[in-house]
Amino acid sequence: MLKRVSLILVAMLLSVASSARPANADILYTGSTIVQDFDSLGTSTLTNYFSATVGMQSALPGTTGFDGTKLGGSGTSGPNFFADNGSLPTGGMYSLGATGSNERALGLLASATNIMGYGFRMVNNSTSTVTEFTVSFTQENWRSSTSVVNTMVASYSFDQTISAASYLTAATGFNFVTALDLVGPAPVTSNGALDGNNLSNQVFRTFTFTNLNWAPGEQFFLRWHDTNDAGSDANLAIDNMEISFVKAIPEPGTGMALALMAVTGLIGWRRRHV
Ligand SMILES: [Ca+2]
Ligand SMILES: [Ca+2]
Ligand SMILES: [Ca+2]
């Protein structure tokens, strides 16, 4: 009886320990195109949403699969998840959109205090091997920079040993994919908010991963890292991400082989009987 009680206690403690950090939900590929419009990120700032500890990941609100973390900076309190329209100059991660509007995009602005990164883990939850997929999104510029063009660097991994709990800061196993970098507008003397929903402040980005052998159950990671640049930094965002897939053509199965034999046999019979 005592043994059973202690087992129950251990199970309860384990469940408490595992629920301490927001769960890392994955984007699941089940055979269809995946879309993310970020319109559920919210319109209110979430104070100290992220951990002050570099590399401690938090699931982003209102998204499936997206996580964020602090990459660096001198700040000792947990960074906010800001809701803003590009007016704020503060380093952190942002739900960007017109004030009060539910049409949002996911942005980053780095400072000496907080440098952030975000990304997602995607798992092939289908029964097919994927040979090719395309990641596309709209880059939205919500705030300009003063000294240099700001870039948010994209990197990806098909490494099956990368941990879902620490992929945003993994030092090895990732490759750069410059086509998916967010490259900001030319610097201006006095920077400020931009309307990221205006076409003049948008860039379409797309990249196709080819010659893949992405099998059922395998993982894929894509992440963006911000940098604290000289001068005042830009706030650049992703909106309307889409991932579309090409599946492997299956080997002719037994049914197909039998059908081919039947057709061949029929042609042979016709030849012999015409
Ligand atoms: Ca949106
Ligand atoms: Ca938008
Ligand atoms: Ca920057």
pLDDT in tens, 156-213: 999 999 999 999 999 999 999 999 999 999 999 999 999 999 999 999 999 999 999 9
Q: Which domain holds residue 230?
A: 24-273
Distance CA(45)–CA(67), nearest Å, equals 17
Given this model, what pLDDT does residue 66 score?
A: 97
Which DSSP state fits 114?
-
15 falls within a domain: no
Given this model, what pLDDT does residue 11 score?
A: 46
Dump pLDDT digits (tens) for 118-160: 999 999 999 999 999 999 999 999 999 999 999 999 999 999 9
Given this model, what pLDDT does residue 22 score?
A: 56
Given this model, what pLDDT does residue 261 score?
A: 58
Given this model, what pLDDT does residue 248 score?
A: 85
Residue 272 has pLDDT above 90, yes or no: no
215 falls within a domain: yes
45 falls within a domain: yes
Ligand nearest to the CA of residue 41, numbered in listed order: 1
2 falls within a domain: no
Q: How many other C-beta atoms lie within 10 A of the C-beta of residue 22?
A: 13
Domain count of the fold of the chain:
1
120 falls within a domain: yes
**Residue 10, H or E segment:** helix 2-18
How much of the chain, in percent, has pLDDT values that exceed 70?
82
Given this model, what pLDDT does residue 21 score?
A: 41
16 falls within a domain: no
Given this model, what pLDDT does residue 17 score?
A: 39
1 falls within a domain: no
251: confidence class by pLDDT, cuts 50, 70, 90: low
Nearest to 170 by CA among 179, 182, 159: 159
Q: How far away, in angstroms, is 247 Cα from ligand 2 center? A: 30
Dump pLDDT digits (tens) for 36-95: 999 999 999 999 999 999 999 999 999 999 999 999 999 999 999 999 999 999 999 999
Q: Comparing 51 with 23, which gets the higher pLDDT?
A: 51
Residue 6 has pLDDT above 80, yes or no: no
Q: How far away, in angstroms, is 246 Cα from ligand 3 center? A: 35
Residue 253 has pLDDT above 70, yes or no: no
233 falls within a domain: yes
Given this model, what pLDDT does residue 14 score?
A: 43
Ligand nearest to the CA of residue 146, numbered in listed order: 3
Residue 111 has pLDDT above 50, yes or no: yes
CATH of the domain at 35: 2.60.120.200
Q: How far away, in angstroms, is 97 Cα from ligand 1 center? A: 8
DSSP state string for 184-240:
-PPP-SS--B--TTSGGGEEEEEEEE-S--B-TT-EEEEEEE----SSSPPEEEEEE
Q: Comparing 67 with 22, which gets the higher pLDDT?
A: 67
Ion ligand 2: residues, CB within 5 A, are 105, 197, 239
CB 23 within 8 A of CB 88: no
Q: How far away, in angstroms, is 78 Cα from ligand 1 center? A: 26
Given this model, what pLDDT does residue 249 score?
A: 79
Ligand nearest to the CA of residue 151, numbered in listed order: 3
